[in-house]
Amino acid sequence: MDKLITQAETIIKNHQLRLTKQRRSLIDLLVHQPDHYLDITMVDRLMRDMYPGISHNTIYRNLEEFEEIGLVEITQRSNCKAVKFSCEDGAHQHHHHFICQKCGRVQEIQMPKWPTNFYEQQLPGVQITGHSFELYGLCAQCAKEAGSK
């Protein structure tokens, strides 16, 4: 954990962002759940419990800045946005995830490069700027537990 926090602090400084105590707390909160997405509303509530004067805008702006520099990944869930500490180490390498529907564990998966021209041919006139791909199911541990019942 300490290594991840140190890496995050270095990335923040390298991008000329101030390393405030609120940003340190935000990183600490996310680093302790490295393989789970956290609802942004929960992160907001936890941060506001620690820092009653901090605004929602400040928390969300910091998360957006962290996403821009590769520290966190933000995804849209069916009813809210969620965030997790990035498994990219700030490298901005595109990747995909398997997400356990029981325990919420997130695992990175490798996929071949998407042939965007294949999709653009199916959608004349569009310009594809990105995509999102996630697999859902039971992780090995949850599948094992489900099989033993």
- The encoded tokens of residue 81 equal 């946005």
Q: Is 114 exposed, middle or buried (0-12, 13-18, 19+ CB in 10 A)?
A: middle
CA distances from residue 93 to 66, 73, 99 in whole angstroms, order as listed: 15, 11, 19
Q: Domain for residue 91, yes or no?
A: no
Same domain, 129 and 107: yes
Same domain, 106 and 76: no
pLDDT score of 93 more than 70: no
Q: Is 29 exposed, middle or buried (0-12, 13-18, 19+ CB in 10 A)?
A: middle
The response to whether 142 counts as a known ligand-binding position is yes
Q: Kindly report the CATH number assigned to the domain that includes residue 59.
A: 1.10.10.10
What's the CA gap between 135 and 141, in Å, rounded?
Answer: 16
Q: What is the pLDDT of residues 15-50, one digit of tens each?
A: 999 999 999 999 999 999 888 889 999 999 999 999
Same domain, 81 and 108: no
The response to whether 80 counts as a known ligand-binding position is no
Same domain, 62 and 7: yes
Same domain, 75 and 100: no
Q: Domain for residue 90, yes or no?
A: no
Residues 6 or more apart from 13 whose CB is under 8 A from it? 19
pLDDT score of 57 more than 60: yes
Same domain, 67 and 111: no
Q: Kindly report the CATH number assigned to the domain that includes residue 134.
A: 3.30.1490.190
Range 111-133 average pLDDT: 78
Domain that holds residue 139: 96-147
Range 125-138 average pLDDT: 81
Identify whether the C-beta of residue 39 lies closer than 8 Å to the C-beta of residue 53.
Answer: no
The response to whether 94 counts as a known ligand-binding position is yes
Domain count, the chain: 2
Predicted TM-score (pTM) of this structure:
0.71
What's the CA gap between 86 and 101, in Å, rounded?
Answer: 20
Same domain, 9 and 54: yes
Burial 88-106 (b: 16+ CB within 10 A, else e): eebeeeeeebebbeeebbb
The response to whether 96 counts as a known ligand-binding position is no
The response to whether 87 counts as a known ligand-binding position is no
| Helical H segments across 32-84, by residue range | 40-50, 56-68
Q: Percentage of residues in the chain with pLDDT exceeding 70?
A: 91
The response to whether 103 counts as a known ligand-binding position is yes
